[in-house]
Amino acid sequence: MIRVETLSKQYKGVDVLNRINWRVEDGAFVIVTGRSGGGKTTLLSIVGGLTRPGEGKVFIDDADIWQLPEPELATLRNRKLGFVFQFPSLIPTLHVLDNVLLPIAFSGRNPNVEDREFAGSLLEMVGVTGKDDYSPSQLSGGQQRRVAIARAMINRPSIMLADEPTGDLDEKTEEEIMRLFQRINGQGTTVIMVTHALGYVKSGLAYTLKNSRLMPYEESEVASGSCAGEGEL
């Protein structure tokens, strides 16, 4: 479970996130939407242990992640979290399979046969087969995003954080990627996705970030820009 308490963050004196309280249950599929520059990515990166909050706390399975020593936080990112970013994030010097296996190398061990088999099955799941030794530049944008999803899954994380994973993809590929996330969620992985694709808000619990506050998507529509109440759910 993820619990966020009175989370605030400022950039250059401007509130990006303001006293956000939030709870995401295990196995949930959560969509966060909002205007560009509204703080969605910042929220995701604070929850994912990538950016330190200005104030407030983030608990993952009851551990206050921003109180953890850096090596333990790195371990948490490695073992419990999987990230998919809005930009191509494969390492250009590594082949597809090596890209997928990379988080294992960061866990302090060398990938073994089982890891390779699992990586192969993940690549099969995301629909990129027979391209293990391809360089990322030989893949299409959609294929690269799928490989990034496979990589995020390699350590069997309990939480997947996706930041606009379909932002630069065509409609058909976007649908395929969204189905993929739903499938991952179906396997019990909590998915938190930041997206502009409003067509998918009904896929799960939807929230919107407006005026530095997080609120349920429908409520925000009703509120139409008002800042009534905190985004506590």
- Provide the binding-site residues for another protein, judged by CB under 8 A: 42, 45, 48-52, 70-71, 74-75, 77-79, 83, 85, 87, 89, 91-94, 98, 102-103, 105-107, 110-111, 151, 155
| Distance from C-alpha of 176 to C-alpha of 74, rounded to nearest angstrom | 31
Kindly tell me which of 13 and 225 has the beta carbon lying closer to another protein.
13
Concatenate the DSSP letters of all residues of 46-86 into one string.
Answer: HHTTSS--SEEEEEETTEEGGGS-HHHHHHHHHHTEEEE-S
Ranges of beta strands (E only) in 170-221 are: 190-194, 205-210, 213-216
Kindly tell me which of 48 and 142 has the beta carbon lying closer to another protein.
48
- Nearest approach in angstroms of CB 230 to another protein is 24
- Nearest approach in angstroms of CB 55 to another protein is 16
Beta pairing, strands 14-24 & 2-11:
antiparallel
- Nearest approach in angstroms of CB 226 to another protein is 30
Q: Determine the distance from the C-alpha atom of residue 219 to the mean position of all C-alpha atoms in its chain, rounded to a whole number.
A: 23
Kindly tell me which of 51 and 173 has the beta carbon lying closer to another protein.
51
- Nearest approach in angstroms of CB 51 to another protein is 4
